[in-house]
Amino acid sequence: MMLFSGVVLLLACDDEATLSFAAKPRGYFRITLPTPAYQQFQSDCPFEFKHSKIAKMVAATGPRAQKCWYNLEYPGLKATVYLSYKPINKKEDLEQALADSYKITFKHTLRAQGIQESRINKPQERVYGLLYDVAGNSASNFQFVLTDSAQHFLHGSLYFYAAPNADSIKPVSDYITRDLGILIDSFRWK
């Protein structure tokens, strides 16, 4: 009787249910991102812009920090956007600032799968520049430069406090990149 009951139970089971022992793919923790909201950043520096309310604007410190260098910190997302301002006094200063920014951006090519470059051209606001979207497992996924081509230059770099893994940081990277789009769109030289 016991044997008969066991056979009936095995035959009654769905074949797919008894044979599906596949391991689940590796996943990442769900990240709940806040609804974007922005505030105006103003200082005695020669620029202003809007930035995310969840980010803290902190004056850069350290031996190499200069006036009007800021860190836009996203503590809950473990990321920082480093903003470095340089005054431009002559054509050579602009050329050197562009070369330095190019070098900083393209040092990531060792780990990047590619770098997509886009131009910024807002002549009414005198804001010109370049965006660099760095694909792959590089330390910095997004960089930009802004200038008025005469007196001012700003370089921005996004870095995460985590090992570079494009798959795991993609939702947060996309979120911050959208924030940086607002920053760039609202950017004005004083």
- 5-51 pLDDT, tens digit per residue, is 555 555 555 555 545 556 666 665 677 899 999 999 999 999 999 99
**Domain ranges for the chain:** 37-189
Higher local confidence (pLDDT), 29 or 127: 127
pLDDT band at 128 (very low <50, low <70, confident <90, very high): very high
- The CA-to-CA distance between both ends of the chain, in Å, stands at 91
46: which 2 tokens? Answer: 């020669």
Listing DSSP states for the chain in one string gives -HHHHHHHHHHHS-HHHHH--PPPPP------PPPP-EEEE--SSSEEEEEETTSEEEE--STT--TT-EEEEEGGGTEEEEEEEEE--SHHHHHHHHHHHHHHHHGGGGTEEEEEEEEEEEGGGTEEEEEEEEEES-SEEEEEEEE-SSSEEEEEEEEESS---HHHHHHHHHHHHHHHHHHHHH-EE-
The mean pLDDT value of the chain amounts to 86
Q: How far is the C-alpha of 15 from the C-alpha of 38, rounded, in Å? A: 55
The answer, yes or no, to whether residue 106 has pLDDT greater than 70, is: yes
Q: Extract the tokens encoding 96.
A: 């050197």
Express as a percent the part of the chain with pLDDT over 70.
82
Rg, Å, the chain Cα set: 24
CATH architecture under which domain 37-189 falls: 3-Layer(aba) Sandwich (3.40)
Report the C-alpha gap between 51 and 174 in whole angstroms: 15
Q: What is the pLDDT of residue 69?
A: 98
84's tokens: 């470095």
Q: How confident is the model at residue 108 (pLDDT cuts 50, 70, 90)?
A: low
Q: Dihedrals φ, ψ of 143, to 5°?
A: -140, 155
